[in-house]
Amino acid sequence: MTSPSGASILGDVAVTRTLRTGARRVVELLATPLVPADYLDVIAPLSNPAVLRARVESVRPETRDSVTLVLRPGRGWRPHEPGQYVRLGVDVDGVRLWRSYSLTSPPADRDGRIAVTVNAIPGGTVSNHLVRHARPGLLLHLDAPAGDFVLPRPRPAKVLFVTAGSGITPVMGMLRSALSELDDVVVVHSAPTAEDAVFGADLRALAAQGRIRLIERHTRADGRIKPADVAALVPDLFERHTWACGPNEMLDDLESHWHAAGESGRLHTERFRPALVVVGDGGTVTFGRTGTVVEAGGGVPLLEAGEEAGVLMPSGCRMGICYSCVLPLRSGAVRDLRDGQITTAEPEADVLVQTCISAAAGPCHLDI
């Protein structure tokens, strides 16, 4: 019996590879100056491997102010770890805004779908838009899942979750996928009232089945929960690994309590809201890559402030029409000197501002 020699197999592989590379080059050439995926986007936007998108398959109301969006992610999505979040790019009034939301589904159901749960924050542009206007068929942009608020392997023997408000969302993701691997779970969850508790019914059902011990706190009646309350409700507190998610004040309290007991290693926290952007008139401008820092007045274009400090700023028309001077705003806020409009930086997203007609509106950081 003969078998093909190793060399010829390798030869075939090389030929196939060359053919494939050649074919790809030709297709790229056919699409120039665009890329082939740009044409694919018109017909099948979920098939673009370079741009991750998802389509809303269904919208499930959770409470008056929250909804769960069941999403079908496109090509390129890799399954998340329960407890992680995903950044969603949502077009609100035509403008793409990015926000992070916890994944509340198991890594991927049989159909490859995932779910996020969105709580409408008072004044929150994106959360309110999604809660009020998200409909099946809506196309969203997304990033790879991220975050280290996850359960370790092997799973700890005893687990405590302390959550408040929408802080339950990453924990729900964990409970839905890993509860069968956890023996002893206590959930201390705060919400303004019983009806306002996101996933209230799901949690109560799990408690009724005896799979978790649920302690609900209704803050409108009983006030905000303190570490001492948690300690009283959960006597074996420090025997447990604790995952906590909720408002910053609650997390600060918990962290100092665990720190005082020398048990910081057993507390894992997740903070949702970044520090609010300070909007003022003029401010400290940091030119990140050059390391230059200047104080700029509220009426001075950033372009001039940079040039005076010796930064090699890109420039053009100097009147706001040619877009040669745009730079990414990494943090802070700027004011359009023509109409006073404020533009604020978005976490981890490039917001490009025209430096020739923008002035500092509080401390800000430009990437140059």
Partner 1 sequence: MTTLQHKKVNPIAHLTAEDIEAIGRELDAIRDEVVASRGERDAAYIRKVISVQRRLELASRGVLLFSLFPPAWIVGTAGLSVAKILENMEIGHNVMHGQWDWMRDPKIHSTAWEWDHVSPAAQWKHSHNELHHTYTNVIGRDNDLGYGIMRVDEDQRWHPAHLGQPLYNFINACFFEYGIAAYDLELGRNLATKERRRNPKFRAAVKQVRRKIGKQVLKDYIVFPALSGPSFLHTLAANFTANLVRNLWAHSVIMCGHFPYGVETFEKKSIEGETRGEWYLRQMLGSANISGSRLMHIMTGNLSHQIEHHLFPDLPSNRYAEIAPKVKDLFQRYGLSYTSGPLPKQVASAWAKVFRLSLPNRKADRERVAPQPDATPANRGPATRWQRTPAAN
DSSP notation for 128-147: HHHHHH--TT-EEEE---B-
Q: How far is the CB of 97 from partner 1 (least distance, A)?
A: 7
If the CB atoms of residues 59 and 349 are measured against partner 1, the closer one turns out to be: 349
Q: Pinpoint the alpha helices (H) of 184-315.
A: 200-208, 219-222, 227-233, 248-260, 302-308
If the CB atoms of residues 223 and 314 are measured against partner 1, the closer one turns out to be: 314
If the CB atoms of residues 39 and 236 are measured against partner 1, the closer one turns out to be: 39
Q: How far is the CB of 66 from partner 1 (least distance, A)?
A: 24
DSSP notation for 30-88: HHTTS-HHHHHHHH-GGG-SSS-EEEEEEEEEEETTEEEEEEEE-TT--PPPTT-EEEE
Q: How far is the CB of 92 from partner 1 (least distance, A)?
A: 8
**One-letter amino acid of 339:** D
Q: How far is the CB of 301 from partner 1 (least distance, A)?
A: 7
If the CB atoms of residues 70 and 296 are measured against partner 1, the closer one turns out to be: 296
Binding site for partner 1 (CB under 8 A): 26, 29-30, 32-34, 38-39, 41-42, 51, 91, 93-97, 301, 316-324, 326, 337-339, 341, 349-352, 356-357
If the CB atoms of residues 21 and 341 are measured against partner 1, the closer one turns out to be: 341
Q: How far is the CB of 366 from partner 1 (least distance, A)?
A: 15
Q: How far is the CB of 140 from partner 1 (least distance, A)?
A: 13
Nearest Cα to 318, choosing from 283, 264, 354? 354
**One-letter amino acid of 257:** H
Q: How many residues does the chain have?
A: 368
Q: Is 202 helix (H, G, I), strand (E, B) or coil?
A: helix
Q: Which two tokens stand for residue 331?
A: 């943090």
If the CB atoms of residues 232 and 319 are measured against partner 1, the closer one turns out to be: 319
